[in-house]
């Protein structure tokens, strides 16, 4: 891999290599204090730029900690500090940063910002999130499922709620890693196959009724009803999504050993009931931790030949 931008651009071998390395890196740190360096130091002497046009908790902390554990240093930049694409073109910014740092992670709004940055960068670029995709999150989710239940191949994942960037990336992952997606959204919020970057519909079914979407599912997952950048639609979305709250009744229709995931932050009482996210089927805290291990594996593999 030259860059890590969205899952449709990766092969199944690429993704399995990331997942396997993440498991090995997590096992190697078993019981170690958070500030302890890894025994292997694949980023020793390396500088990583972390660019945030969108605010973040998990992405910022997990990338920063991961780089430090692997021996590197971070330079954290906000969109306001850089005026990305305003005071200087994105292409020129990419060329300049490539002379200063060894790796770039960007969390931004527009997919075009990410792609233009990658096209003009001579160092690897990682997608920390765009309006369209969130590949680091979904690989962490898949890693968490494998850790808890084994192979995800042939399993069924039920997505309940907004067809946002997280949903799009789940759909991409299903095509690459051969599992099934059941998606249920309110009318008017259905998946746009072109926006999701889908190649076909063999791994995906749309359901009008969320209860039917979760029936027999191995994993049930959701996200906030209003993503960053869509706050003006918040009141309208609360009304439209009222029947798409993942509650105990919904989870009871999934497989008996089904897991519940949420990429966080969560709004209890909206997209998920407290009894579900805080209940025995929820693995959201493992999921959040595994962002660290998966992202470390992505960075290590991108840098291994440099």
Given 46, 107, 237, 293, the catalytic residue: 107
Can 223 be counted among the known catalytic residues? yes
Reference 236, options 189, 192, 191, 196; nearest CA is 189
- Contact predicate 279/100, CB 8 Å: no
Report the alpha-carbon distance of residue 173 to residue 194 in Å, rounded.
Answer: 15
Reference 182, options 207, 151, 211; nearest CA is 207
In the three-class reduction of DSSP (H, G, I as helix; E, B as strand; rest coil), residue 101 is classed as coil
Which burial class, exposed, middle or buried, applies to 150 when counting CB atoms under 10 A from its CB (0-12, 13-18, 19+)? exposed
Given 46, 58, 137, 172, the catalytic residue: 137
Given 6, 162, 218, 223, the catalytic residue: 223
Residue 90 structure tokens: 């994105």
Can 137 be counted among the known catalytic residues? yes
- Contact predicate 173/16, CB 8 Å: no
Given 3, 58, 182, 291, the catalytic residue: 291
Report the alpha-carbon distance of residue 53 to residue 79 in Å, rounded.
Answer: 4
Reference 112, options 96, 92, 91; nearest CA is 91
Can 203 be counted among the known catalytic residues? no
Given 6, 263, 293, 295, the catalytic residue: 263
Can 107 be counted among the known catalytic residues? yes
Neighbouring residues of 297: CB distance < 8 A, sequence distance ≥ 6: 18, 19, 21, 22, 25
Given 3, 46, 134, 293, the catalytic residue: 134
Strand partners, 105: 50, 126
User: Hey, which residues are catalytic here?
Assistant: 107, 134, 137, 223, 263, 291
């Amino acid at each position: 891999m030259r860059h890590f931008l969205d899952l449709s651009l990766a092969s199944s071998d690429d993704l399995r290599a990331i997942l396997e390395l993440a498991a090995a890196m997590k096992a190697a740190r078993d019981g170690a204090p958070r500030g302890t360096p890894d025994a292997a130091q694949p980023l020793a002497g390396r500088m990583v730029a972390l660019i945030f046009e969108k605010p973040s908790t998990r992405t910022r902390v997990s990338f920063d900690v991961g780089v430090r554990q692997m021996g590197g240093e971070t330079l954290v930049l906000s969109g306001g500090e850089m005026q990305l694409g305003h005071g200087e073109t994105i292409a020129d910014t990419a060329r300049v940063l490539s002379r200063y740092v060894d790796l770039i992670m960007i969390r931004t709004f527009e997919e075009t910002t990410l792609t233009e940055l990658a096209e003009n960068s001579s160092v690897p670029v990682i997608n920390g999130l765009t309006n369209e995709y969130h590949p680091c999150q979904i690989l962490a989710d898949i890693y968490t499922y494998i850790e808890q239940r084994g192979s995800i191949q042939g399993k069924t994942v039920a997505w309940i709620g907004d067809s946002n960037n997280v949903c799009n990336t789940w759909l991409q992952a299903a095509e690459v890693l051969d599992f099934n997606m059941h998606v249920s959204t309110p009318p008017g919020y259905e998946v746009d196959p072109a926006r999701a970057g889908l190649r076909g519909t063999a791994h995906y079914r749309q359901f009008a009724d969320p209860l039917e979407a979760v029936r027999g599912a191995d994993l049930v997952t959701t996200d906030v009803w209003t993503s960053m950048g869509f706050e003006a639609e918040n009141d309208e979305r609360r009304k439209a999504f009222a029947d798409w709250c993942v509650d105990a009744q919904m989870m009871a229709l999934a497989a008996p050993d089904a897991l519940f995931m949420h990429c966080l932050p969560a709004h209890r009482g909206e997209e998920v009931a407290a009894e579900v996210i805080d209940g025995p089927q929820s693995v959201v805290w493992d999921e959040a931790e595994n962002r660290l291990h998966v992202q470390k594996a992505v960075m290590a593999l991108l840098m291994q030949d440099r």
